[in-house]
Amino acid sequence: MAKIGFIGVGNMGGPMARNLITAGHSLKVFDLSEEAVNFVVQSGAERAASIQDAAKGVEIVVTMLPVGGNVRDVFLDDGVVAVADPGTLFIDSSTIDVESAVAVHEAATAAGFEMVDAPVSGGTVGADDGTLTFMCGGEKAAFDKARPILEGMGKNIVHCGGPGQGQVVKICNNMIAGIVTLATSEAFIMGEKLGVDRQVLFDVISTSTGSSRILEMACPLPGALAGTPSSNGFKPGFMAKLMLKDLRLSQAASQMAGSPTPLGAVATATYQQHINNGFGDLDNSSICKIIDPNVK
């Protein structure tokens, strides 16, 4: 069992850290939010006083932060890379831009550390029940060391390629998720306006060709499926502003690859409008409000 420093214990990192404790690891946690830290300390983690404190005296550092700038802040300058004990393995599970992932990986490698980018899919439900998919980038040897730790938090753990390649796969996945959430919202609201009951739409489409994991697990329309953010006042879950972040990452990746993503571009602009309307902190499924602001 390993000593792990865990930095960023929000909606995803909190339950992930708790599952590592359940798996028998000992954890030191740090977050800018005291409330977030309390949640994991109640499950048996030690409270770290700072980023540096969380990164020292451990064998593994796991980070789960919002954006690439946060990951650079935590690892670079006087952060994790400067203070970690020799031989510490770094695992960054945040969803961030490929450029930041590669830059942090290079800084870690130059200082003699191994690192894996390991963004996840599966949402807060997957984080809670330990069934996340991890998409990993980095050297195979680093991936092999990270795997037993990731197994404490997920079920499907895939080595996607070299540094940053986990992020590439994650960005492709989330571009599809954003497009499908918007497409599902459009279709359901149109169907209802033409007189069909929402539950009937759900029961039929969820077993037909219009179905998706989005519909089956996180139907964006309230009430059709119990336990979803939409059925709980759009409480996140996965915030709309984070979906916009990922869609923007997809558009940067599209440029980098010279590969057109017309539907990704529409989804990006639509989520931008939704955030401008003041809904960034709601679950991303609240995008249905842009089709019908009165949706209930």
Instruction: Tell me if 95 contacts ligand NAD by CB under 6 A.
Output: yes
Q: CA–CA separation, 272 vs 285, rounded Å?
A: 14
If one asks whether residue 238 binds ligand NAD (CB under 6 A), the answer comes out as yes
36 binds ligand NAD (CB under 6 A): yes
Instruction: Report which of 287, 282, 237 is spatially closest to residue 267, judged by C-alpha positions.
Output: 287
Q: Is 74 in the site for ligand NAD (CB under 6 A)?
A: yes
100 lines the binding site for ligand NAD (CB under 6 A): no
Q: Is 248 in the site for ligand NAD (CB under 6 A)?
A: no
The residue count for binding ligand NAD (CB under 6 A) is 27
User: Does residue 286 touch ligand NAD according to CB under 6 A?
Assistant: no
32 binds ligand NAD (CB under 6 A): yes
- Of 31, 104, 19, nearest to 66 by C-alpha is 31
220: contact with ligand NAD by CB under 6 A: no
* Structural tokens at position 234: 């759009």
User: Hey, which residues does 5 pair with through a beta bridge?
Assistant: 28, 61
For ligand NAD, which residue of 4, 5, 6, 11 counts as binding (CB under 6 A)?
11
Q: Where in the sequence numbering do the catalytic residues fall?
A: 170
Q: Which of 25, 45, 75, 94 is close enough to bind ligand NAD by CB under 6 A? A: 94
Please say which residue, 191 or 229, places its beta carbon nearer to ligand NAD.
Answer: 229
Residue 214 CA to residue 184 CA, distance in Å, equals 8
Residue 37 binding ligand NAD, by CB under 6 A = no
Q: DSSP of 185-203, one letter per residue?
A: HHHHHHHHHTT--HHHHHH
Residues paired with residue 4 on neighbouring β-strands, in sequence order: 27, 60
The answer to whether 76 contacts ligand NAD (rule: CB under 6 A) is no
Tell which one of 73, 186, 281, 292 touches ligand NAD (CB under 6 A).
73
Q: Alpha carbon of 95 to those of 120, 247, 284, 287: distances in Å?
A: 8, 11, 15, 20
Pairing of strands 26-30, 3-7: parallel
Report if residue 91 touches ligand NAD, rule: CB under 6 A: no
Q: How many CA atoms lie within 13 A of 232 on its CB side?
A: 11
Segment 177 to 216, residues that bind ligand NAD, using CB under 6 A: none
Among 190, 144, 176, 137, smallest CA distance to 263 is for: 176
Q: Which of 19, 88, 100, 124 binds ligand NAD (CB under 6 A)?
A: 124
How far apart are CB 267 and ligand NAD at their closest, in Å? 15
For ligand NAD, the binding residues (CB under 6 A) are 7-8, 10-13, 30-33, 36, 51, 64-66, 70, 73-74, 94-95, 120, 123-124, 237-238, 242, 246
